[in-house]
Amino acid sequence: MVGAGRVNSTRAVKNALASAVERAGRSRHVRALNNGALVGARRGHSSCGRQQGGAVRVNASVVDAPRSPSPSRVDLRDDGSPTSNGLFTNTNPEVRRIVPTEEQMKGKTTVVKVVYVVLEAQYQASLSEAVNKLNNRDAKTSGGVGIEIVGYLLEELRDADNYAQFKQDVETANVFIGSLIFIEELAEKVIEAVQPQREKLDACLVFPSMPAVMRLNKLGSFSMAQLGQSKSVISSFMKKKKKQGSGGFEEAMLKLVRTLPSVLKYLPSDKAQDARNFMLSLQYWLGGSAENLENFLLTIAKAYVPEASKLESVLIAEPVVFPDAGIWHPMAPAMYEDLKEYLNWYDTRKDMKFEKDAPVVGLVLQRTHLVTGDEAHYAATVMDLEARGAKVIPIFAGGLDFSGPVKKFFFDPLNKDRSYVDTVVSLTGFALVGGPARQDHPKAIETLKTLNVPYMVSLPLVFQTTEEWSDSSLGLHPVQVALQVALPELDGGLEPIIFSGRDSRTGKSHALHDRIESVCNRAIKWSELRKKQVRDKKVCITVFSFPPDKGNVGTAAYLNVFGSIYKVLKGLKEDGYDVGELPETDKELMESVLNDTEARYNSEDLNVAYKMSVPEYQKLCLYSEALEENWGPAPGTLNTNGEELLVFGKEFGNVFIGVQPTFGYEGDPMRLLFSKSASPHHGFAAYYTYVEHIFKADAVLHFGTHGSLEFMPGKQVGMSDSCYPDSLIGSIPNLYYYAANNPSEATIAKRRSYANTMSYLTPPAENAGLYKGLKELSELVASYQGLKSSNRGIAIVNSIIDKAIQCNLDRDVNLPEVDAKDITEDERDIVVGSVYKKLIEIESRLLPCGLHVIGCPPSAEEAVATLVNIASIDRPEVEPPILGLPTILARSVNRDIEDIYRNSDKGILDDVNLLQDITMACRAAVGEFVNESVAKDGRIDVTFVDILGKLSGAKEDPWVEALKSTAFKNANKEEMEKVFNYLNFCLQQVVKDAELDSLMKALRGEYVEPGPGGDPIRNPDVLPTGKNIHALDPQAIPTSAAVQSAAVVVERLIERQKLDNNGAYPETIALVLWGTDNIKTYGESLAQVMLMVGVRPAPDALGRVNKLELIPLEELGRPRIDVVVNCSGVFRDLFVNQMNLLDRAIKLAAEQDEPSEMNFVRKHALEQAEELGVSVRQAATRIFSNASGSYSSNVNLAVENSSWNDEAQLQDMYLSRKSFAFDSDTPGAGMAESKDIFASALKTVDVTFQNLDSSEISLTDVSHYFDSDPTNLVQGLREDGKKPASFIADTTTANAQVRTLSETVRLDARTKLLNPKWYEGM
């Protein structure tokens, strides 16, 4: 199909060539043509296209394009590889340049040059058609005007050549048009190019964009600035819209257009006309059709281009108005604004017949694609769904608030309380309410809760062509991930599958048929969960064996897996599912699946559910051949008896409990050492093949954190059909119980295995307490405080010192080597205070005790420790702001809590005592509060909690009673009331049981409400569990609060290192960044990196953190510390934009002309540039991770499997797997191997550093900290062989601590490994 409006003739091509060559040497003002004079409408106008290597690039839009190419067969890229410029797109704006030919200009005297910049490409074909139609008009009907146009996609402006050409084009333009410019760094480029030319431009039109870009608007006397200042109706509209954000901007603007007559009377006549022209232009633009855009260009040229005076005689049609919202169908005769009318047409169609109970899928479409005629990808989706037997209701809206149309068109017209659709698939990629700028997630969630059906959000490629995405290891462009994956997830959106590509020449969208097939299959599967009878539904419960060692089958983080499965099975049985004959207990259930509670994976101890022959496997598993490169021919060596592939597990009626196969590492240690990425083995593929095609599961439930499926190789986000997670999960709806405190890996599961991730509670934390010698030592300290002035005081101090040495505390506390009688009383107090402080640190440390059972509320004792810690944090962000209990209690005795923390850290006995008194008072107050709501079995009773809330004030508050006999009895009652009202709310959330309910809802094909993941103590919004976990808007971090917290830790870290290093500053610090930590802390460790190098993150005009401010050395007060940043694979996947920010920050520091003794970043970059023969900027590369699609250094697995011979082998593994660098100058290149720069940077490291941010996980709980720690590697690389100091920041309490690695391990050992309370609880 030839692109609309193209001139299909040899002569046109010859003319284009001739005129392009001629333009290159033309004078800048008057152009002589054979048939008369042609006047450029702009002084200094030059229309020459970009020349490359002396040849003039022919205007592609006047040459025939290939016919509807199949993306998999025809390469539509421009010269070079898809990311030869290191960016995410390599498309050439010259394909959007149209210059009128000599033939088209016969009898015409004026060329009006138009330059446009847009976020997405859907306007390209429509604008090109409009311009070609105008240029094909004769001299009379065109008013003697020809149009030259060139367009830029916003993302293309990252390329230096493109940007230079853009600036040149703007300099010679009459009219500039911009739309949806919402990326700050690119918005600044647009402003930089357009602002200097604004007064010279005849017209400058900017439609919904960032405020600074909107201020470029200029039509005669009209400007946005004037609108904002006047007292008109438009002014108040603009101010109101600015507050509300851009969500309903276009929609509201269109409503304003309709009421223009009443609005314009408030403006002077000339301003009224210009304002009317702006509103009219917006209406033409949002109309989007070639006809509307043709009249739009004529309207602007006629009114504002002086040389286009002959247009006065040309009649220009009013905008063709399309419905603001409605229902569109590719086969329908019209757009419908009423569901009944649409269904009348739909149900009487002759071309299609549907089953009576056919699933109904609602599609959400972007209106701009429909009005610009760029709807082929929508039509393909509709047709595919209908071919599979589903009915379709495709709706659209004029603005970007789809909540209204959803309410209007997706509910049963005969019963407005009942959904008419069974599943909703948004094809816009945007959040349901709000565009790329601001969103209203609560409004979206409320709408979707009412509709109560699964909500999928599929994506069109926006910033990349099909080939660029296909060839990219990253997959989807990070800006699009932030806008169109992360934001819809906050609405509860599922399954970010790319369904359409973009043609690099025409800008038109085209269907990716294999991806559309996947979207449609999965949408129908979700719909069938609503249609199918419960007794007929088949559910696969998948348990894991990770790590693959003895006794690990059926384990998960913090979860009693089989106890929880047993509870789920009983719940399913009550709901009517066929679960067969259930064992009597959860232990019997476990034994029936494992045969042996200590079962090893892949052993005879596991129950074999199915034996799959190799021919059956090869027939059903369409990608089995692709696995042979890594694993040889099937059946391979794993999950096999040598002839058949074995599926482990057991069926209970229509429920199959299966054991997910392992990665396969343990079968081949050498593969572990040298591979950059793993791949599934035949046994792994056979398991999911069985679940989908033989057992025929209607849904799979992955049970607990976490399995291997989501970490299989493939693109990071926006997978293709050749990515293993996509192939393995097939079309099965994926439900996944995930620990509430692990939102980062839950997000990986959500994006890469299309999981509806439902959170479960981690075991409520308890205080570690004291035991054995530590308890005796505590008693001695108490004795000293009572008897220190007596003659026994000195003897007690000697006993404390001896007992402290016996308990190995002498490595954590400075103890005197002389008798206590030889030191002063103040010195004795410091010794006792330091020991006491360490004992309190051990006693009060939180640790999770026991394992959680799905749907089991916590006990009163468990709730107290959690609530005490919730109550300890100041919360200025909540409404009303809340002070933490320690702050309130400290103020009641006229002290500042920060002073008490500092003095306690120094071991000052009086303040150690005071801090302990505050801690005990907090526990007593919260304990009394919780005791009011305890049922007879010791568990929290939710009805008591509700009653407690209602009785507040009816009797004396329990917390007042608790403080009566303490020094804090005068604590501010109003502030205490606020805290306990908040705690009452938190307690209600803790005890709500939504975990089982959410599973049942998902299995019924209903909407599972979304909620944040993270630490319930830092963010109680994580509660109640059972929510569809999401992370956060990646562009919102680090927050200002996170920067403040980070500053404290950085200061303490540097001071601690100076103390241990004779007062010298560390020159380089190596850090590890984790995904979950940064979600929980809102980017604290991100901010730490920036503050170390002396750079401060800053928000843009929309509050998104993507700007940087250099902190002057005078303000910093110390040298800029160099860093080497090792990002986890999960962090890399979730926070590419933040990696970009960090790399920019470090390079900004490296490029400052400052003394080397005050800027270690620059010092080392200069040295490395010389050593490696690269530029200083390249030498300042400091952001490293795994290769795309690969996770961890695998050092932990090598150690666990003993697949190593010496330390050097492990170090080489670390270097090989973690030396892939991110470069903000070439972000599209993904993670590029940079082993030399990585090793060179590590040679300068003095300090290694990690963060502990929550009480659930510490160094001794998981091997990830060890796996990512470069301390030993640095020692091996440093020329002096010196081992760097290793520090851990503990921000689990309000009083952040920086400890050495040894101190942290000792604290862990005392509070967990040696603590009877912990191991008895486990």
Per-residue pLDDT reduced to its tens digit, 268-292: 566 678 888 888 888 899 888 999 9
pLDDT value at position 76? 31
SS3 state at 412: strand
Name 59's Cβ contacts closer than 8 Å, sequence gap at least 6. Answer: 16, 20, 49, 94, 97, 98, 99
**SS3 of residue 90 by DSSP:** coil
What average pLDDT does range 444-472 have in this prediction? 91
Q: CA-CA distances (angstroms) from residue 431 to 439, 440, 492, 494, 1007? A: 7, 8, 10, 12, 16
Asked if residue 840 has pLDDT above 90, the reply is no
pLDDT for residue 435: 64
CA neighbours within 13 Å on the CB side: how many for 777?
29
Rounded mean pLDDT, 1130-1147: 87
122: Cα separation from own chain's centroid: 26
pLDDT recorded at residue 785: 80
What the block records as the tokens of 366 is 């972007």
The least confident of 36-40, 563-567, 798-802, 850-854 is 36-40
Strand partners, 411: 419
Contact 360, 342 (CB under 8 A): no
> How many helices and strands (H and E) does the chain possess?
54, 40
Please state which of the ranges 357-361, 409-413, 489-493, 1105-1109 shows the lowest mean pLDDT.
1105-1109
| pLDDT tens-digit readout, 756-772 | 999 998 887 777 888 88
Residue with tokens 């990665």: 663
Q: Distance between CA atoms of 1298 and 1289, rounded to whole angstroms? A: 4
The region that residue 502 occupies, defined by phi over 0 for left and psi between -120 and 50 for alpha, beta otherwise, is: beta
Least confident of 164-168, 356-360, 1105-1109: 1105-1109
pLDDT band, very low/low/confident/very high, at 939 (cuts 50, 70, 90): low
242 pLDDT more than 80: no
Quote the CA–CA distance of 332 and 325 in Å, as a whole number: 16
Q: How far apart are CA 93 and CA 1034, in angstroms?
A: 30
Pairing state between β 423-426 and 360-366: parallel
pLDDT value, residue 832:
87
What is the pLDDT, as a whole number, of residue 277?
A: 87
Of 360 and 50, more confident: 360
Helix (H) or strand (E) holding 1290: strand 1285-1290
- Smallest CA-to-CA distance from 1059 within 1300, 849, 774 is with 1300
| DSSP-assigned letters across all residues of 801-823 | HHHHHHTTGGGTS---SS-GGGS
Nearest to 529 by CA among 171, 1112, 1240, 1007: 1007
Q: For 1009-1026, write each residue's pLDDT tens digit.
A: 999 888 888 888 888 899
Average pLDDT over residues 298-325: 88
User: Residue 675 in 3-state DSSP?
Assistant: coil
485/431 Cα distance (integer angstroms) = 9
More confidently predicted of 444 and 630? 444
What are the two backbone dihedrals, phi and then psi, of residue 504, each rounded to the nearest 5 degrees?
Answer: -70, -20
- pLDDT at site 933: 67
Higher confidence at residue 745 or residue 1113?
1113
Q: Above 50 in pLDDT, residue 52?
A: no
Q: Using an 8 Å Cβ cutoff, are 148 and 100 in contact?
A: yes
Q: Prior bond to 852 cis, omega within 30? A: no
Strands 455-457 and 459-460: unpaired
Evaluate if residue 1315 carries a pLDDT over 80.
no
Neighbours of 230 (CB within 10 A): 17
pLDDT in tens, 946-977: 554 444 455 578 888 888 889 999 999 999 98
**End-to-end Cα distance, the chain:** 67
pLDDT at 601 over 80: no
Q: Which of 948, 931, 950, 928 is nearest to 940 (CA)?
A: 931
SS (H, E, C) 1227-1247: HHHCCEECHHHHHHHHCCCCE
Nearest-angstrom CA–CA distance, 897 and 567: 45
Q: Is the pLDDT of residue 998 over 90?
A: yes
Q: Label residue 148 exposed, middle or buried (CB < 10 Å: 0-12, 13-18, 19+).
A: buried
Average pLDDT over residues 1186-1200: 63
Q: Provide mean pLDDT across the span 4-25.
A: 33
Contact 429, 502 (CB under 8 A): no
When pLDDT is averaged across residues 728-735 and rounded to a whole number, the result is 96
Handedness of CA 104, 108, 109, 110 (dihedral sign): negative
At residue 359, the pLDDT reads: 96
Beta pairing class for 110-118 and 36-40: parallel
Say yes or no to pLDDT of 62 above 50: no
Give the pLDDT band (50/70/90) at residue 580. Answer: very high
Whole-angstrom distance, CA of residue 649 vs CA of residue 658: 4
Q: For the ranges 76-85, 335-344, 677-686, which has the lowest average pLDDT?
A: 76-85
User: 3-state class of 1002 per DSSP?
Assistant: helix
Assess contact for 867 and 924: CB atoms under 8 A. no
- List, for residues 102-122, the tens digit of each pLDDT value: 999 998 989 999 999 998 888
pLDDT band for 724, please (50, 70, 90 cuts): very high
Over residues 935-939, mean pLDDT: 56
Closest alpha carbon to 971 in 874, 895, 915, 864? 895
Mean pLDDT of 1236-1257: 83
Amino acid at 1259: L
Find the mean pLDDT for residues 19-37.
32
Please name which of 1297, 1220, 1188, 1241 lies closest in space to residue 474, comparing C-alpha atoms: 1188
Query: Whose CA is closest to 1253, among 1287, 1296, 1196?
Result: 1296
Whether the Cβ atoms of residue 372 and residue 121 lie closer than 8 Å to each other: no
- Distances in Å between the alpha carbon of 1254 and those of 478, 918, 1086? 28, 22, 17
Structure tokens at 457: 């959000």
Q: Cβ atoms within 10 A of the Cβ of 1249, count?
A: 29
Top pLDDT among 104 and 240 is at: 104
Is pLDDT larger for residue 515 or for residue 263?
Answer: 515
Mean pLDDT of all residues in 394-404: 88
Element (H, E) at 293: helix 290-304
Higher pLDDT residue, 384 or 1211?
384
The single-letter DSSP state of residue 1310 is I
> What confidence tens digit (pLDDT) does each residue in 1155-1183 have?
999 999 999 999 999 999 999 999 999 99
| 858: Cα within 13 Å, side-chain hemisphere | 29
Q: How large is the average pLDDT for residues 422-446?
A: 87
Spatial distance between the Cα atoms of 989 and 978, rounded to a whole number of angstroms:
17
Per DSSP, which regions of 377-430 are E strands? 391-397, 411-412, 415-419, 423-426
Looking at residue 699, its pLDDT comes to 97
- Tokens found for residue 88: 């995410």
Q: Is 866's pLDDT higher than 70?
A: yes
- Where residue 47 falls among pLDDT bands split at 50, 70, 90? very low
Higher pLDDT among residues 952 and 1213, named by residue: 1213
pLDDT of residue 82: 40
Per-residue model confidence (pLDDT) at position 134: 93
**E runs forming strands in 1044-1127:** 1068-1073, 1095-1099, 1105-1110, 1122-1127
Is residue 485 predicted with pLDDT exceeding 80?
Answer: yes
More confident residue, 454 or 109: 454
- Rg of the chain over CA atoms, in angstroms? 34
The confidence band for 1266, taking pLDDT boundaries of 50, 70 and 90, is low
Mean residue pLDDT across the chain: 81
H runs (alpha helix) in 716-824:
724-729, 743-752, 772-787, 793-806
In the block, residue with structure tokens 């959904």: 419
Q: Which helix (H) or strand (E) holds 1012?
A: strand 1010-1012
Residues whose CB is less than 8 angstroms from the CB of residue 753 and which lie 6 or more positions away in sequence, other chains included: 702, 709, 710, 725, 728, 729, 734, 736
1018 vs 1001: CA distance, rounded Å: 28
pLDDT at 66: 30
**pLDDT, tens digit (0-9, with 9 covering 90-100), for 194-218:** 999 999 999 999 988 888 898 899 9
- Interval 333-348: pLDDT, tens: 999 999 999 999 999 9
- Strand-strand pairing, 1068-1073 and 1028-1030: unpaired
CB atoms within 10 A of CB 976: 22
Residue of 1286, 1310, 1290, 1311 lying closest to 1300 (CA atoms): 1286
Q: Convert the pLDDT of each residue in 506-552 to its tens digit.
A: 888 999 999 999 999 999 999 999 999 999 999 999 998 755 544 56
> What is the phi-psi region of residue 696: left when phi exceeds 0, alpha when psi lies from -120 to 50, beta otherwise?
left
Q: Where are the alpha helices (DSSP H) in 542-676?
A: 561-574, 586-594, 614-620, 628-631, 669-674
Cβ neighbours of 347 (radius 10 Å): 11
How confident is the model at residue 678, as a pLDDT? 62
